[in-house]
Amino acid sequence: MNYIVEVENISKKYGSVVALDSVSFKIAEGEFFSLLGPSGCGKTTMLRIIGGFIDQDIGSVRIDGRDMDRIPPNNRNTSMVFQNLALFPHMNVGENIAYGLKKRKIHPLKIRDKLNNMLSVVNLEGLQNRRIEQLSGGQQQRVALARSLIIEPELLLLDEPLASLDKKLRVSMRFELKEIQKRTGTTFLYVTHDQGEALTMSDTIAVMNEGRIVQSGSAGWIYNNPEDRFVADFIGAGNFIPLSGSYKRSDGMLEVRAKAGGSICIIKKTGKYPAFPDYDRAFKAASERLENGIKDKRDSYFFIRPEKVRVSSSPVCEIREQGPHVNQYGATVVSRIFEGPDTRIILNSRELGNITAELKNDASYENFSENSSAFICWSAYEGTVL
């Protein structure tokens, strides 16, 4: 695999504050790679080090095999899209996009051809003479993207570029960004605190917290197999069921006990789950986290996503594709929260404690009113130990 970016043991301090602590990762050519984390976790500092805007204290950055030590930003084959876009208000759309080519003294005819092509790529055909203030927020975003892409960088750096847009426009721009990245084949390094953006667009996500990468992998893998409570809680919602520390393990099966008394079975996924192939690693990691928690006298939790929890009015909670391997418990509905396409139901089980389930808004959710009895269940192939 050809890696465009290789970051090795990068550390950075501001006085006594550690912004980055031995950060390492690689980005493959043509990949959409996201650094995801809360404000202050170090993701923008990492982006600016790669771009050459600030220097690291320790470590190295290589772009296309070339060490970037002492290489200024203008001599790196990178380009950057800033959160505030930084468009030139005195220039029209075409002049903004072509600015980098003119600075490089590219022939006017070649600039014209490149500009026309880029306007097509970002869906701005016919708008090259518009003033910036005449554009919508989404159109301005595409101008900033086109201006950075037209110089054909090896790496495009994007620092929370959708943060200033309203929610509906942010959602639509996610798909546009991903499509533009596919059409151009440019490697994207994207910084965001928005887990929805990262999950929607990224080939690989590196989750950051307190200056370190705590987990990296595909969106599906990280979402379904978080390695610690921070990742599980930061990316999506989840149920954290406290465990007592008592467990049984056999080949391909782990049975754990909740502090409230209920028994929970975890079974290793098999080959019929092609989307998540690394079953052995996931099952082994869950077992090791449980054992290490007991050894270190730390609290352990069983973790399950709300959308994986089924709610039934009958004691037969059928999950057809799983066969008999189902965890099932009696419960009482505590509250029901309408969320548009979904309804979030909070239930209490004597065996587990409080559990949140997420149901689609079809007719079935109407059966579960507050204080009514219900049964909750999920496949024994789902969930993990944290």
pLDDT tens per residue across span 36-46 = 999 999 999 99
Per-chain mean pLDDT for the chain: 88
Domains and CATH numbers, the chain: 3-224 (3.40.50.300), 237-385 (2.40.50.100)
pLDDT tens, position by position, 215-263: 999 998 899 889 999 999 999 889 999 999 888 888 778 889 999 999 9
Query: Considering only CA atoms, which of 219, 218, 220, 242 is closest in space to residue 229?
Result: 242
Provide the total of helices (H) and of strands (E) in the chain, helices listed first.
9, 20
Residue 214 has pLDDT above 90, yes or no: yes
pLDDT value at residue 317: 61
What is the C-alpha to C-alpha distance for residues 154 and 286, in angstroms, rounded to an integer? 39
Q: Indicate the pLDDT class of residue 367, thresholds 50, 70 and 90.
A: confident
Query: In what helix (H) or strand (E) does residue 229 lie, and over which residues does it extend?
Result: helix 229-234
Q: In this structure, are residues 34 and 193 in contact, taking their beta carbons and an 8 Å threshold?
A: no
What is the C-alpha to C-alpha distance for residues 70 and 155, in angstroms, rounded to an integer? 18
| 3-class SS of residue 162 | coil
Q: Rounded to 5, what percent of the chain is helix, strand, coil?
A: 30, 35, 35
pLDDT value at residue 274: 47
Find the range with the poorest average confidence among 50-59, 159-168, 314-323.
314-323
pLDDT tens, position by position, 296-334: 778 899 999 999 998 888 776 655 444 557 899 999 999
What is the C-alpha to C-alpha distance for residues 255 and 275, in angstroms, rounded to an integer? 24
Please report the sign of the dihedral spanned by the C-alpha atoms of residue 346, residue 225, residue 282, residue 316. positive
